[in-house]
Structure 1
Amino acid sequence: MEIVRRERTDAARNRAKILAAAEAIVAAEGVDGLSMAEVAAAAGVGVGTLYRRFGDRSGLAYALIDRREREFQSAFIEGPPPLGPGAEPAARVRAFLYALADRTVEQLDLLLMAETAGPFARFGGAYDAYHGHLAMLITQVRPDADASCLADALLAPLAAPLLAYRIRECGVEVERVKAALGGVLDGLVG
């Protein structure tokens, strides 16, 4: 039997205050303005509470990303087609990649901070969900293909550091990235 641990009421209240303060700071100053001390002061909690709860700035970034991430995962797992079930696998892959591109751009600075916190910070959690979803769909489209490696290849251009570089340094529009992914997908399906 699994024991479900509920968050204490005061801990939940502190978490909400911390996340609201962090969101306000990011909205006003950008991610670069997000310091643990400033967030703690704005939320009215101790810095130690913040570190115990989130670990570091990247942990705080992941917490800020979490709500939007849950919405995105719900959309591709149980939402309407073509992103959700009910469409052909190739159409779902395309919808997923395009939606992930938009989702990454939407929180690009937070994802950039979170994904560059360590050598493997991008992997695990959400990446595993994306990878598993794509590998499943690729297997349905091309049973003979190495679905795992192809999923990595399709996800690579959507890594926050690469996408930020392409958009900000090279002037590439996200629509161009989507079109390129669509071309790769056409080659995979065709």
Structure 2
Amino acid sequence: MERRERADAARNRQAILRAAEELLRRHPPEQVSVERVAAAAGVGKGTVFHRFGSRAGLMVELMSERARELEQAVTDGPPPLGPGAEPEERLVAFLACVAELGARNGNLMAAHEHAMVTRKGAAEQPRERHPIYTFWHRHVSGLIAEARPDVDAEEIAHMLLGTLHMEPIASQLRAGGHERLAASFEVLVRGLIRGADHRG
């Protein structure tokens, strides 16, 4: 009985996440309510609240699940995204994937950002301390430091990742466009890394 209940809970969780993701693909974030998600998932509203705590909790969990897929590719996947490639190529590949993730989940990222700002305790947990941002920043700054030990890798990583939250860039991602951002990231990365040949 307990095993069946756990299996039911796991199925409900996946159904809720899939329903939320599909609704966010078709509707602006403000139109994706807990009620609409519950109806699309075929569960009661109380089930959503029980599993995720709130609409904000649902959006944070959905974004976290998408980010975990990228984290797995970075940690264990093939190069250039995964280990085995030069830092420059890994950084270009990672930022291209971040741009694509933003474009594929533009409304989700907007909903997640809103959830992070409005959820209880947001002032005590700024964006920079969120596990997703922490991993992304650690990865980007680590690659920069490996290739350019002479620069402030942590600050540059904040600058690169911060562009995702600039409204002109965010609106491009919500519209589904990521190629322009990925190409610009590549120009910045290659200029930064190859600048080591001309310093001093």
Instruction: Assess same fold via TM > 0.5.
Output: yes
Aligned to 2:93: 95
Cα distance, 1:142 vs. partner?
1.0
The one-letter amino acid of 2:149's match is: P
Alignment of 1:38-117 (within 5 A): 38-117=36-115
Q: 2-side partners of 1:45 and 1:125: how far apart?
A: 29
- 1:139 counterpart (140, 145, 158): 145
Q: 1-side partners of 2:176 and 2:33: how far apart?
A: 30
Cα distance, 1:162 vs. partner?
4.9
- 2:157 counterpart (151, 162, 182): 151
Aligned to 1:188: 192
Cα distance, 1:130 vs. partner?
0.5
Cα distance, 1:51 vs. partner?
2.0
State the identity as a percent: 42
> CA deviation digits over 1:43-83, x for unaligned, max 9?
44443332232132232123333443222111111211111
Retained in 2: the 8 A contact 1:115–1:122? no
Q: 1-side partners of 2:81 and 2:192: how far apart?
A: 19
Aligned to 1:3: none
Q: 2-side partners of 1:63 and 1:158: how far apart?
A: 19
Give the aligned length: 182
The one-letter amino acid of 2:83's match is: P
Cα distance, 1:177 vs. partner?
2.0
The one-letter amino acid of 2:138's match is: G
Residue 176 in structure 1 maps to residue 177 in structure 2: no
* C-alpha RMSD of matched pairs (Å): 2.8
Q: 2-side partners of 1:52 and 1:126: how far apart?
A: 23
Q: 1-side partners of 2:8 and 2:38: how far apart?
A: 15
Q: 1-side partners of 2:110 and 2:173: how far apart?
A: 13
Mean CA deviation greater in 125-134 or 38-47: 38-47
Cα distance, 1:174 vs. partner?
2.9
Aligned to 1:4: none
Residue 165 in structure 1 maps to residue 171 in structure 2: yes
Q: 2-side partners of 1:94 and 1:25: how far apart?
A: 31
The one-letter amino acid of 1:39's match is: V
